[in-house]
Amino acid sequence: MYQYCYTRRCNNYIRYIFSLKRNCILLEYNLEIKNEFLKIYTQIHKHTCVDTYRCFILHQFAKHAANLPEGDVAEIGVYKGGTAKLIAKTFLEYTSRKHTIHLFDTFTGMPPTHPIKDTHHKEGDFKDTTLQTITNYLQDCSNIQIYPGFFPQTAKTLQDTKFCFVHIDADIYQSVMDCCVFFYSKLIPSVSLLR
């Protein structure tokens, strides 16, 4: 019930956000929320394909999860690191407890896709980034751990880890299914799993 109410509250705020060519314009409805979000969003908007609305929702759910008593964080599908930095900075700002942000990506672009299930992207999409570029971009985030390679093979060391926030930004059907299977039993109560 709480999660539903929280989602409705976020949706009420989101009605006041408009996006024009990736420039975020917020009405003066809630100055505090606007400033919190824009403080981080201005640092990341050129490093993500995720639209302003979704970034805002990620920020709001990350703020909620930062106050949970336990659990690490995961993002699957890092690309250029924009949403990873949004999540990492939000957790650094809104909690005194150390949450490790686990980042999973091949950093070599899309692997082979299924011709029927995966129709939005093809093999090789998103290959215009490297692990070194991401590492450099995220160097000011002290709470991250990067796992290059194919998920879930790269997550074998996290079998006993609990999670309070998971952002699945994978574009392949099998990758999304693998994420759901891997993380479902590792989620603490009141957690956010976003696709």
Q: Residue 109's pLDDT is what?
A: 73
Using CB atoms within 10 A of its CB, is residue 44 exposed (0-12), middle (13-18) or buried (19+)? buried
Span 90-105, pLDDT tens digits: 999 988 888 999 999 9
Angstrom distance (rounded) from CA 60 to CA 89: 12
Q: Residue 195's pLDDT is what?
A: 64
CATH number (3.30.70.2190, 1.10.287.3510, 3.80.10.10, 3.40.50.150) of 2-194 reads: 3.40.50.150
Domains of the chain, by residue range, sit at 2-194
pLDDT at residue 161 is higher than 80: yes
Task: Please give the DSSP secondary-structure letter assigned to residue 159.
Answer: T
Q: Which of 9, 7, 56 is nearest to 36 (CA)?
A: 56
Span 2-60, pLDDT tens digits: 343 334 444 444 443 433 333 444 434 466 777 888 899 999 999 998 888 899 989 99
pLDDT at residue 159 is higher than 90: yes
Question: Rounded to two decimals, what is the model's pTM?
Answer: 0.80
